[in-house]
Amino acid sequence: MSTRKAKKMKILLPVDTSPYSAEAVQAVTERPWPAGTTVRVLSAVENVGVPAMGPVMFDAAGSLELLQQQRTREANELTENVANTLAASGLATETVVHDGDPRSVIVDEAEDWKADLIVVGSHGYTGIKKWLLGSVAQSVVSHAPCSVEVVRVRTAHAKQ
């Protein structure tokens, strides 16, 4: 019989407002984790770009900056709400919001924080949709410095 003590884990949980992200949150909440495990809830706010075509139709009051600030506020609210849900199930939580492309933000945060595991939701796109829309989960799996669990939404078709 082993007397090895379970290691405290550092789990990075990237979230957005999609049902795929909610499924990943649910998966983390339902699993028994070693005592002392911390879940860092992360949201990436993609930078609002200036349209490449035609004149910019924003007013001089800085509409792009205001939009970026609003998106950052919403991301902070989202991460806090998710952290509260996880804390209610007994997990220690932290929140962080960064500006940038989710693919690089997630990988960079996992490296900087020395995460043991990333749990990410996936749309499950394949073929042309995956190529056109990109896949955050695929990029994270390919570049992460730690293990990655990809949580997929179960569909009625998949249950058969």
Summarised one tens digit per residue, pLDDT across range 51-66 is 554 455 555 456 888 8
- Three-state secondary structure of 88-141: HCCCEEEEEEEECCHHHHHHHHHHHHCCCEEEEEECCCCHHHHHHHCCHHHHHH
Domain range list for the chain: 7-46+115-160
Tokens 């960079």 belong to: 108
| Structure confidence at residue 47 (pLDDT) | 84
149 close to 117: Cβ distance less than 8 angstroms: yes
Which class does domain 7-46+115-160 fall in? alpha beta
List 40's β-bridge partners, or say none: 12, 94
| Whether the predicted pLDDT of 41 surpasses 80 | yes
